[in-house]
Amino acid sequence: MLRKALKAIVKIIKIAILAGLAIVLLPRLITTLFSITRTYTTQTVPPAPVAIVFGAGLWRDGTPTTVLRDRIATAADLFFSGKVQKILMSGDNSYIDYNEPGAMRDYAISLGIPAEAIVLDYAGRRTYDTCYRASAIFGLQQAILVTQSFHLPRALFTCHALGLQASGVPSDRQDYRLSSLFYWHLRELPATLTALFQVYLTHPLPILGEPEPIFPAGSK
């Protein structure tokens, strides 16, 4: 009797583990498949009015991390090749001494991008917020998303689910440390599951405010 009970318990545990893995892995599979036909290189991506650069953290000295610098450099390539007219830098500015969009702008200017071509979103605390505000605050209907390949599927899926037609360009400009890649890919599993809950169930409202259209009505 005890042996049968133990076997039943083990079986239940195995089923629970498999079910848990399916719940976590399936959203990642869905977003990856969704992104395949919407992912391009800087040369092949169709032009769009704006490139959106997602924040990726700052070093202690307030400068962009390596991952973030690569995103900004990729957006610069799009700008200089005429693929986009403007670049929306979206990041976190929750604290006075943490200004992610400002650091992104400074680095972009150091690459030669004119200040007037840069628009800052100070409330892009998460991917959902950036996509939501791109449409609701900055008036975008179409954009090119710039981020690393591990994050691009979730970003593309989220923006499309929120009504922003987007294509994506991976910004993997170097071989990142294996430990970092493992962390980022592992992080995407719960983050992608959360993204599906956000766009289909919870519908959280990001920080909003007065509209700041990048291309006001009547402008060329």
CA distances from 73 to 108, 153, 161, 184, 190 (A): 7, 20, 27, 20, 28
Q: Please choose, from the candidates 207, 182, 107, 124, the residue with its C-alpha nearest in 3D space to the C-alpha of residue 158.
A: 124
Residue 194: give the domain boundaries.
2-202
Residue 213: CB partners within 8 Å, gap ≥ 6? Answer: 138, 139
CATH of the domain at 65: 3.40.50.620
CA angle 184, 132, 204 (to 5 degrees): 85
Residue 143 inside a domain? The answer is yes
pLDDT tens-digit readout, 75-106:
999 999 999 999 999 999 988 889 999 999 99
Answer yes or no: is 212 within a domain: no
Q: Model confidence over 182-195: pLDDT tens digits? A: 787 888 989 999 99
Whether 98 is covered by a domain: the verdict is yes
Total structural domains within the chain = 1
Question: Running DSSP on this structure, what letter comes out for residue 202?
Answer: I
* Any domain includes 155: yes
In a domain, 196, yes or no: yes
Does residue 209 form part of some domain? no
pLDDT (tens digit per residue) in 21-70: 666 678 888 999 999 999 999 999 999 999 999 999 899 899 999 999 99
- Domain membership of residue 81 (yes or no) is yes
Residue at 215 is within a domain: no
What pLDDT score does 14 carry?
65
